[in-house]
Amino acid sequence: MDSARAAGPLRYELLGPLVVRRAGREVDPGPPMQRAVLAVLLLGAGEPVPREQIVRAVWGARAGATAPGLVATYVSRLRQVLEPDRPRRTVDGLLATRGAGYRLAVGPGELDLHDFEAARRRAGECRAAGAPEQALAVLDQALALWRGSGLDGLPGPFAALHRGRLAELRLSAVEERFELALLLGHHHEAVAELGLLAVAHPARQRLRALLMLALHRAGRPGEALAVYGQTRQFLIEHQGLEPVRELTRLQQRILRSDPALEQPVAPRPGPAVLCPPAQLPSDVPGFTGRAGELRVVTRSLVAGRRSGPVPLVVVSGPPGVGKTALAVHAAHRVRERFPDGQLYAALHEPDGTPGDVGVLLGRLLADLGVERRAQPVEPERRAALLRSLCSGRRLLLVLDDVADAGQLAALLPGSPSCAVLATSRGRLTGLPGARGVPLDVLPAAQAVRLWRRLLGAPELPDEERVVAACAGLPLALRAAAARAAARPGRGLGPLAARLADESRRLAELGLGGRGVAQALGSAEWRLDRAVGGPAALAAFRRLCRCAPGELAGRLAALPEEHAELLVEYGLLLASPDGRPRLHPLTALYGRAADGRRMESRCHRAPQSP
């Protein structure tokens, strides 16, 4: 046991002036600058905080040459406060040295901010489960943790920045509390306090909407409309803006005495509570290889976190390389670790176009039991409701064929108790905490193992020719195996001969309309509509036309912006050393597509007289 905790349980309080307690009794964490260092470490989410970052956080631009030394001194003194029995000159412990920084371990129930955030998540769960009374009680408990302004009295730019963030957290929770109170019909009791809050926050439109609704339900529609007029005047004079659409719509509904505003209706429990979703597709038959990648994916998904970003794994690679197969197989391996359910969503439309974020959010909410008519219209509010429903629950989301980082970010839950496994042709950089798992074509030995497992047979004559024609692409191997299985007893010779013919190879590697050519066609279509895509696509077509001996030089001379786009959309492969490669089947597709375009132009050309 840590020496500090052996001396008695620790409790840190940031929701007001910074307070440290041991066994219920307050202990002195030192002078203001030392307290500011402690606050930085507490808000570091249990991760190492570099010394330079602490210096910037506490002193900002006024940091002098002595600041790093002062940080070390303050940390030493904090260790004496927090770990009175700790041996001198030890780097490990509750407040540990990690490289050129420090890490403060904070256990469950030791930080009031963590308790507040957890209670707010529980309130969201209760509301989603159709228990608004319980949600209101939990929010009241959460708000009772506040003793004033967060980090009150602490110096430094870090404390000033987080005071604003904490104030926003508190006010959002207050608004949620009043939404629940109005949902339960407590409008008379809410009017007075909402009026005071609206005066204190004249630009807070959500707060003003709650006050308008409370006044209207209390039989004071004239005052509710007056609040709208005051809010609109303030916004125009001080911000040059009109009120948001929701506030204007509420004013119009009050003007026409919309009966739907009169009676609050509590939400009913839905299938999200009664029947956890189990939407994973069937596991992939014959899954072979990818042991290293599979290990990374599964370990990353089940590495449970109490705080920080949601565990997110992005499996990336070109069309047909087996991203979905790996994701589904990995999801089945860890499904028992997510007892609250597993959601699966393909993020593209049937024609291959990226799905609309608002529509996708609506589908996920419906899968979690929110009826369509009860869903918000705005995508931002749908995303917020999704985060509330996922909060604190052990849910796995498998999001297949993500178009870009923006589409994925809008669908992420906010709770680290959930996990997200995504597939994408691009690597989706810039997402906090994302673990990228890039896939390449299968090595020759793994390709042969997959082929034999798919075919359910040992080595057959002409096997080598068939596998070589597929060039390590799992989708091609599955299509070829399906062709061979459809003609049992005929051997692989005819199939190998057809695959050797370049004019027939892509047709033979079709799989019910979802073959290699279709996958590459979708990638080409998407790239053509991307910023800079047409130029990159023209460069790709030139690459496909060049002679084999020229390819290496042409690839080396390819402009970087074109190479990045072609790799992102799956028309080039990325080597471990960063150099792009052109897969043989992709080159074949490019040449065939060029031939089709030339033929089409010839048919459209006017005939000579």
Q: What percent of the chain has pLDDT over 90?
A: 42
Domain 117-261: CATH superfamily, name plus number: Tetratricopeptide repeat domain (1.25.40.10)
Closest CA to 232 of 252, 258, 259: 252
Q: Is the model's pLDDT at 200 over the cut of 50?
A: yes
Instruction: Tell me what pLDDT residue 305 has.
Output: 60
272-438 maps to CATH 3.40.50.300: yes
Tell me the average pLDDT of the chain: 86
Instruction: Tell me what pLDDT residue 594 has.
Output: 63
Residue with more model confidence, 328 or 576: 328
pLDDT band at 459 (very low <50, low <70, confident <90, very high): confident
DSSP 479-523: HHHHHHHHSTTS-SHHHHHHHHSHHHHHHHT--TT-SHHHHHHHH
* Residue pLDDT, tens place only, 377-411: 888 888 988 988 888 888 999 999 998 888 999 99
Average pLDDT over residues 328-333: 92
Q: Specify the residue for token string 């060029």.
A: 594
pLDDT band at 175 (very low <50, low <70, confident <90, very high): very high
Q: Is the model's pLDDT at 229 over the cut of 70?
A: yes
Out of 128-137, 209-218, 488-497, 530-539, the most confident range is: 209-218
For 512-547, give one letter per residue: b (16+ CB within 10 A) or e. eeebbbbbbebbbebbeeeeebeebbebbbebbeee
Instruction: Tell me what pLDDT residue 439 has.
Output: 92
pLDDT band at 532 (very low <50, low <70, confident <90, very high): confident
pLDDT band at 14 (very low <50, low <70, confident <90, very high): very high
Helix (H, G, I), strand (E, B) or coil at 170: helix
Residue with more model confidence, 253 or 309: 253
* Residue pLDDT, tens place only, 204-215: 999 999 999 999
pLDDT band at 159 (very low <50, low <70, confident <90, very high): very high
How far apart CA 388 and CA 381 sit, in angstroms, is: 10
Instruction: Tell me what pLDDT residue 169 has.
Output: 92
Q: Is the model's pLDDT at 541 over the cut of 80?
A: yes
Q: Is the model's pLDDT at 451 over the cut of 50?
A: yes
Average pLDDT over residues 466-472: 92
SS (H, E, C) 246-296: HHHHHHHHHHCCCHHHCCCCCCCCCHHHHCCCECCCCCCCCCCCCHHHHHH
Q: Is the model's pLDDT at 145 over the cut of 90?
A: yes
pLDDT band at 91 (very low <50, low <70, confident <90, very high): low
Q: What percent of the chain has pLDDT over 70?
A: 91
Residue with more model confidence, 153 or 595: 153
* Residue pLDDT, tens place only, 344-371: 999 887 666 788 899 999 999 888 877 7
Contact 431, 370 (CB under 8 A): no
How far apart CA 107 and CA 109 sit, in angstroms, is: 6
Instruction: Tell me what pLDDT residue 248 has.
Output: 93
Sign of CA dihedral 480, 482, 483, 484: positive
Domain 3-104 - what CATH class?
mainly alpha
Q: Which amino acid is at 423?
A: T
Residue with more model confidence, 528 or 439: 439
> Taking the model in full, what pTM does it have?
0.55
